[in-house]
Structure 1
Amino acid sequence: QAAARALARSRRRAAGAAVASAVADGARLALARIEKSQADAHGERQQAEQASHGRGGELKAVRARIRELSEELDKVVGSAHGAEMARATRRMQLEQIAARAAEEFGVEAAALIGEYGPEVAVPPAEDGQLATAYDRAVQERRAQLAQRQLDQLGKVNPLALEEFAALEERHAFLVAQLEDLKKTRRDLLTVIKEVDDRVQQVFGSAFEDTAREFERIFGLLFPGGEGRLLLTEPDDMLATGIDFEARPPGKKV
Structure 2
Amino acid sequence: LAADRTTWQTRLDQLEAAESGLAAEGERLHAATQATAARVDELRTAHQACAETMNQATERARTARGRAHAASEALHRAELRQTQAETELQLHESTLDSDYPGLTMATAEAQAEPIANRAEAAAELQTTREAMAALGEVNLGAPEESRRVGERLEFYAREQADLARARDDLLTVMADLDAVSRERLARAFDDVNREFDALFRRVFGPNGHAALEWTDPDNFLESGVEVLVEMPGKRTQNLNLLSGGERAMTTITLLLSMFRVKPTPFCLLDELDASLDEHNLRQYRNLLTEFAQLSQFIVITHNPETTRAADTLYGITMAEPGVSRAYSYKPPASTEN
Interval of TM-score (by shorter of Structure 1 and Structure 2): 0.3 to 0.5
Specify which structure has the higher proportion of strand.
2
Query: Comparing both structures, which one devotes a greater share of its residues to helix?
Result: 1
